[in-house]
Amino acid sequence: MSPANMRRLAIIIAGIALAIVVGPYRMVGDYVQFIVAALSFYFIAVLSVNMLAGLCGIWSLGHTAYMAIGAYTAANLTKMGVPVEVIVLASISLSFVVGYILGLSAGRFSVLYFGLLTMALALAGTEIIGHWTAVTGGDDGMKVGKAITLFWPQPIETKNAAMICVILATLAYLVGEAVTNSQLGRRWLAVKGQRIASMSIGLKPHVENATAFGMSAAIASLAGIGMAFSMAYIDPVAFSLDSGVTLIVGTVVGGIGSTLGAVVGSAFITAVPELARDAQAIANFVYGGAMIAVLLFLGEGIVPAIRHRIRHWKGRDKVNTNVPRQAVDAEAMTKLVSELMPPARHTLSLNAVSVQFSGLKALDDVTFDIAPGTAVGLIGPNGAGKTSLLNVLSGFYKPLASTTVKLGDADILALPPSGRAALGMGRTFQHAELFPELTIRQMLLTVAALGRPLRRANQIALNEPEAVAERIIGGLGLAPYADYMPSELPFGVQKVADIGRVLAIGASVVSMDEPFSGLDEHERSELRAILRGMRSAGVSILIIDHAVQEVLSLADKVVVLDFGKMLATGEPDSIRRNPEVMKAYFGSSHHVEPSPEISTKEPANG
Amino acid sequence: MGDLPAVIVSGIVSGSAYALLALGIVIIFRSTDTVNFAIGDIGTLAVFMTATMIAAGLPIWLGLIAAIVIAGLLGIITERTLIRPLGHSRNYVFIALVVTIGLGLLIHAGIFVGWGTRPQAFPVLIEGTVKMFGIALTWNKILAAGIAAVAMIAIAWFFKKTPFGIAMRATADDPVAARMVGIDSGRVAAIAWFLGCGIAAIASFFLAADTSLNPNLTLSPLFRAFAGVFLGGLTSMAGAVIGGFTIGVLDNVAGRYISASYRDTMVFAIIVLVLFIRPAGVLGAGRKERV
């Protein structure tokens, strides 16, 4: 059994054991039952907030609204004799839908605005609960009946409802762990860390956010159900903004983005008011003080801080950059590329591309084609519009209406960035833009999983995400770095990993923004080999770079931009001798002589 | 709808507190990227302290000034001890917000310990009422609106005309460039926190004079101030003021003609509606992402 499965099994066994202990056999006293119940439902609630903050960077002060949905669904449905199992299904569905709709809007706002918006939701929620007497009993609250379940002959006594809370908490723990360690969690981390780059690998940030928010809301509603059955009486105070803030306290103190952190955090917010029963002010002192102290001194919360210390202590903190490098094997690179990237089948044609930023025309009527399997170089001085053009292709800038860009028959401009990725368009970034919270291996795994349909459609044999990721790590010499976060790695390695990302998505039309910048000589020759490999594999390439020599020696065709206009286009040789290009680009009309080491072009299909 | 003018006037009057709080939030946000959730609590604490002084014989006018100074100093201390040490990590903006939520809890607890849970009577600046459009407005409220207007004009003058105010605007627009030309960012932050918390104290002072002094004095006004900030955009001072007044009026109109028991919900609905049309607020600068 894998360690992950062992862990899961251990959690299930522990959960069932605890449920039996606090259940109807009266093995412990009332107070213990109550504490276990409170711990359980606070754990669920903190986990839901924690997951959202950790994996998506979305902070919600309004999750008490979803707890309220769970609690009042439970209260109303038990009156009609509906069993707990059905109540759980009903309230998670309802909360998921409400959360999904709210989550769709998360991407429109900054983290801050959205956080404040959820705060407003909590206030409005309390008010609605207070006045909607028919469903909620208003400010006076309402009684919750005993829980009926399909697996127990009699209704469950209120104090024994601790059992239900423990079972729900176990479920929530399993779901939380599963999401965090799965493709889903990695996708959310990718969107959280690099919104733009995540779109270029085919993710739709607003959908990912909405799904995450919906799931988190559904989990929070479980906390409400547990709370309703173990308190037997619910009123609006339990779902006020103060309670929402308490959940944030639990999240911050325990540690953001950690399931174990949610355990610690919920223990904290359960224990403090219990220990300060007679003085509510003291509880608030401790909450406020702990929150500030943790953020000032631990930064990331108790559990991640301890984990960090342990890692530091084990001495596995710094990546070893003194790895002996293998000689670049051009043939091996070609093989790597052809195993992962399908040949391009369609011409990418740009027609009259124009972009306007208020008064300034960044691009004016730029027209050229990239025939399947050819490399086009785009050069021009700073401010010529090169990066703007790339952003039009990837869908981050909207060009003027006269512009058309087509890949074969497909109208690229009509598609969102994610749709372009699905057609096989990939890109790399000037500053690599790797996902800051994924290791290189996790990133490649995530992207490889997203690239599956594309590879399948192109009949590429190597398709299992694990196999694809391994192949890229081996092929690009990333093995010593694979289990590190991007921030721990030298810039050159990050740029190579960025190229690994387009390999993993299985793109057949690749745009590269200054791939040579920031690379050392070894990495440059590696990149040259990769680019040649792409060409011989039939991949179309658009390459933008200031390393003009490199571009001239690699490209089949070169387009020169100056102040947004096309200055010249043609084969590298003719560009080299074009006096107008010399003047615009270099300020004089001297010829650019190819430097000896890279002038010898590899034989075609090398 | 005959009482509409009256409803609007009293909306503007109560909107002046929201506008002051909103202005304070924006001034602090522009200088240090921090949404100060504790701004209302800092103001409230300052007013509690001055109430004790007034009870001991301090003239009420001096009390108002004392409240402003105390809140301003509390603001400077907060920025120095809690906000600046956070540095500029990746999640800085939200972490700073959470720190101020923590501070709010602390202050709240402190007020409970120091002054108990009962609301306290607070002296009124001027007694009496005046009739306007058929409704009775207390002189106190009108004076509050007047002082709020004066404070706003003073702030506008400070930022428009004085060299230091202009330096502060420059810092808000481009902190790095401002530091390069020799503007002391620490002093900018200190002054912003002083001003922001000081004008929050003005709002708290008049809210207390209007009802009574209690620890939850600014809870509901702060929510409306945030709604105003949303409307105007987090980066625009004029927007915050206009937003605060607008929320005051809309809140009153909706409370009068639609439903008095769903006021928070309606304020929330207004925010959501506006944000969906203009995610950065009506006057706020758009969010730009670099590729």
Residue A251 lies in a domain: no
Residue B288 lies in a domain: no
DSSP per residue, A412-440: GGGS-HHHHHHTTEEEE-TT----TTS-H
Residue of A nearest to B289 (CA): A196
pTM for this one?
A: 0.86
Mutant choice from B81, B226, B268 vs A, greatest count of A C-beta within 10 A: B268
Residue A143 lies in a domain: yes
Q: Which of A243-247, A586-590, B192-196, B232-236 has the highest mean pLDDT?
A: B192-196
- CA A544 → CA A202, A527, B242, distances in Å? 22, 14, 47
Residue A596 has pLDDT above 60, yes or no: no
How far apart are the CA of A285 and the nearest CA of chain B, in angstroms?
5
Q: Which residues of B touch A254 (CB under 8 A)?
A: none
pLDDT at A477: 87
Residue A97 lies in a domain: yes
Residue of B nearest to A282 (CA): B109
Cβ pairs bridging A and B (under 8 Å): 125
pLDDT at A604: 42
User: For A104-108, A254-258, A259-263, A504-508, which range has the lowest pLDDT when averaged over its residues?
Assistant: A104-108
Query: Same domain for A341 and A223?
Result: no
How far apart are the CA of A15 and the nearest CA of chain B, in angstroms?
32
Residue B63 lies in a domain: yes
Task: Please identify, among A216, A237, A258, the residue that sits at the C-terminal boundary of a domain.
Answer: A237
The per-residue pLDDT for range A383-400, each reduced to its tens digit, is 788 888 989 998 888 898
Bridge partners of residue A542, in order along the sequence: A376, A511
Residue A577 lies in a domain: yes
Bridge partners of residue A426, in order along the sequence: A510
Query: Same domain for A460 and A340?
Result: yes
Amino acid present at B143:
L
Sorted by sequence, the CB contacts under 8 Å of residue B270 that are 6+ apart come out as B227, B231, B247, B250
Q: Do B223 and A281 touch (CB under 8 A)?
A: no
Q: Of A127, A245, A292, which has the smallest distance from its Cβ to B99's Cβ? A: A292
The per-residue pLDDT for range A88-112, each reduced to its tens digit, is 999 999 999 999 988 887 777 777 7
Nearest to A40 by CA among A270, A197, A258: A270
DSSP helix/strand/coil, A543:
strand
The per-residue pLDDT for range A348-387, each reduced to its tens digit, is 999 999 988 877 888 888 999 999 999 999 988 887 888 8
Number of domains in chain A: 2
Q: Which residues of B touch A57 (CB under 8 A)?
A: 91
Residue B291 lies in a domain: no
Torsion angle of the four alpha carbons A28, A29, A30, A36, in this order, in degrees rounded to the nearest 10: -40
Which ranges of B116-236 would DSSP assign to H, the alpha helix?
Answer: 139-161, 163-173, 175-180, 185-210, 219-232
User: For A149-158, A450-459, A582-591, which range has the lowest pLDDT when averaged over its residues?
Assistant: A582-591
Q: Of A119, A283, A291, which has the smallest distance from its Cβ to B102's Cβ? A: A291
Angle of helix A64-79 versus helix A241-254 axis, rounded to 10: 120
Q: Of A108, A112, A288, which has the smallest distance from its Cβ to B103's Cβ? A: A288
The per-residue pLDDT for range A397-447, each reduced to its tens digit, is 889 888 889 998 999 999 998 899 989 999 999 998 999 999 999 999 999
Residue of B nearest to A56 (CA): B91
The per-residue pLDDT for range B37-53, each reduced to its tens digit, is 999 999 999 999 999 99
Residue A403 tokens, joined: 């512009």
Q: Which domain holds residue B132?
A: 4-277
Query: Same domain for A393 and A537?
Result: yes
Q: Do B275 and A391 touch (CB under 8 A)?
A: no
Q: In this structure, what are the phi and psi dihedrals at residue A555, rounded to the nearest 5 degrees?
A: -80, 150
Query: Same domain for A54 and A190?
Result: yes
Which ranges of A181-240 would DSSP assign to H, the alpha helix?
Answer: 183-193, 195-200, 205-231
What is the C-alpha separation between A318 and A316, in angstroms, rounded? 6
Q: Which domain holds residue A460?
A: 330-599
Q: Which residues of B touch A109 (CB under 8 A)?
A: 275, 279
For residue B90, name the pLDDT band (cuts at 50, 70, 90). Answer: low
Query: Same domain for A340 and A231?
Result: no
What is the C-alpha separation between A556 and A553, in angstroms, rounded? 8
Query: Same domain for A68 and A207?
Result: yes
Q: Of B94, B227, B264, which has the smallest distance from its Cβ to A112's Cβ? A: B94
Query: Same domain for A42 and A160?
Result: yes
The per-residue pLDDT for range A42-81, each reduced to its tens digit, is 999 999 999 999 999 888 888 999 999 999 999 999 988 8
How are beta strands A565-570 and A375-379 bridged, if at all?
unpaired
Residue A486 lies in a domain: yes
Residue A86 has pLDDT above 80, yes or no: yes
Residue A194 has pLDDT above 80, yes or no: yes
Residue B283 lies in a domain: no
Residue A245 lies in a domain: no
What is the C-alpha separation between A216 and A202, in angstroms, rounded? 23
Give the residue with greater pLDDT, B171 vs A12. Answer: A12
Q: Of A108, A295, A394, which has the smallest distance from its Cβ to B99's Cβ? A: A295
Residue B286 lies in a domain: no
How far apart are the CA of A577 and the nearest CA of chain B, in angstroms?
33
Q: Which residues of B touch A281 (CB under 8 A)?
A: 109, 112-113
How are beta strands A425-428 and A410-411 bridged, if at all?
unpaired
pLDDT at B121: 80
Residue A169 lies in a domain: yes
Torsion angle of the four alpha carbons A420, A426, A431, A433, in this order, in degrees rounded to the nearest 10: 70
Residue B290 lies in a domain: no
What is the C-alpha separation between A503 and A285, in angstroms, rounded? 53
Q: Of B94, B109, B261, which has the smallest distance from its Cβ to A288's Cβ? A: B109
Q: Domain containing B55 — which CATH number?
A: 1.10.3470
How far apart are the CA of A105 and the nearest CA of chain B, in angstroms?
8
Residue A288 lies in a domain: no
What is the C-alpha separation between A416 and A420, in angstroms, rounded? 7
pLDDT at A127: 86
Query: Same domain for A100 and A209?
Result: yes
Residue A16 has pLDDT above 70, yes or no: yes
Give the residue with greater pLDDT, B150 vs B284. Answer: B150
Q: Which residues of B touch A124 (CB under 8 A)?
A: 264-265, 267-269
Q: In this structure, what are the phi and psi dihedrals at residue B137, rounded to the nearest 5 degrees?
A: -115, 135
For residue A319, name the pLDDT band (cuts at 50, 70, 90). Answer: low
Q: Domain containing A503 — which CATH number?
A: 3.40.50.300
Number of domains in chain B: 1
Task: Please identify, among A205, A237, A269, the residue that sits at the C-terminal boundary of a domain.
Answer: A237
ipTM over 0.90: no
Cβ atoms of residues A372 and A538 within 8 Å: yes
